[in-house]
């Protein structure tokens, strides 16, 4: 079984590091578009959707978007999870949200330890999601894309794990992502942690299909479908094919 976990913050706090997309209305529209997009994949590669929001927003409008045939396959949770120093950063906050979701979701509680959770930053639509699912790996603990250039990095926007793995290795992992204390991006801290446990787990460190994202970047409001970002995407696709050992 596969559950898509969509993480969300509709009303971010003032002073969040590296965050320019702060308007709640714009963010809510982002989440709505992505939610409607992924609803189409229930029964077509994913079994459930778990949408979790951590600014205690009213999500009654979102529940009305769930088609009758998907009732019982979608869970929506809103809670207040921003009660930490803003300087810790969004990576800390997101993994704190994930920890809450893994411990409070009825879908997760009912799932088996071998079932998979696919975590996606909730505003992002992976426009080639059908291709991503078609080549989705099997029999793994963690599916997380690694990059070595321009620095060691682990992509956090789209990750997958099995339930048993999470509670063994990721429980309260957010404590390792305090950006103000580490002096580095959470993706760098995450990569260091994964390097330390990689010999203990079944890790798939490269995307089988590179996700093509449609969204506005949170840090600068630039579109992932804009020329610069789209060029980076195609460059990575090409490099993965002709130089698969060069992790960029």
The domains of the chain, with CATH numbers, are 2-223 (3.90.550.10)
- Note the pLDDT of residue 240: 80
pLDDT value at residue 162: 97
Per-run averaged pLDDT (10 residues), the chain, 248 residues: 98 89 94 98 98 97 96 97 95 97 98 98 97 96 95 96 97 95 96 96 96 87 75 78 80
Q: Which residues pair with 161 in a beta bridge?
A: 117, 142
pTM for the model: 0.94
DSSP states along 39-105: HTTBTTTBSEEEEEESB----HHHHTTS-GGGTTSEEEEE-B---S-GGG-HHHHHHHHHHHHHHH-
Q: Are 84 and 12 a contacting pair, CB within 8 Å?
A: no
């Amino acid at each position: 079984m596969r559950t898509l976990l969509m993480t969300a913050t509709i009303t971010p706090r003032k002073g969040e590091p590296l965050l320019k997309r702060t308007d709640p209305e714009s963010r809510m529209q982002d989440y709505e578009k992505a939610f409607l997009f992924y609803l189409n994949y229930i029964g077509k590669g994913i079994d459930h959707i778990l949408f979790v929001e951590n600014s205690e927003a009213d999500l009654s409008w979102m529940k009305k978007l769930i088609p009758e045939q998907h009732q019982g396959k979608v869970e929506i949770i809103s809670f207040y999870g921003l009660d930490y120093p803003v300087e810790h950063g969004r990576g800390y906050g997101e993994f704190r949200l994930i920890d809450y979701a893994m411990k409070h979701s009825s879908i997760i509680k009912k799932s088996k330890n071998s079932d998979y959770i696919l975590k996606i930053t909730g505003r992002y639509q992976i426009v080639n999601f059908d291709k991503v699912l078609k080549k989705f790996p099997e029999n793994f603990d963690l599916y997380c894309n690694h990059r070595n250039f321009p620095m060691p990095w682990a992509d956090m926007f789209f990750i997958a794990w099995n339930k048993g793995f999470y509670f063994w290795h990721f429980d309260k992992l957010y404590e390792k992502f305090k950006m103000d204390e580490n002096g580095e991006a959470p993706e760098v801290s995450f990569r260091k942690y994964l390097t330390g446990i990689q010999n203990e787990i079944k890790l798939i460190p490269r995307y089988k299909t590179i996700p093509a994202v449609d969204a506005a970047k949170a840090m600068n409001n630039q579109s992932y479908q804009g020329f610069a970002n789209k060029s980076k995407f195609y460059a990575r696709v090409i490099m993965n094919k002709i130089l698969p050992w060069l992790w960029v």
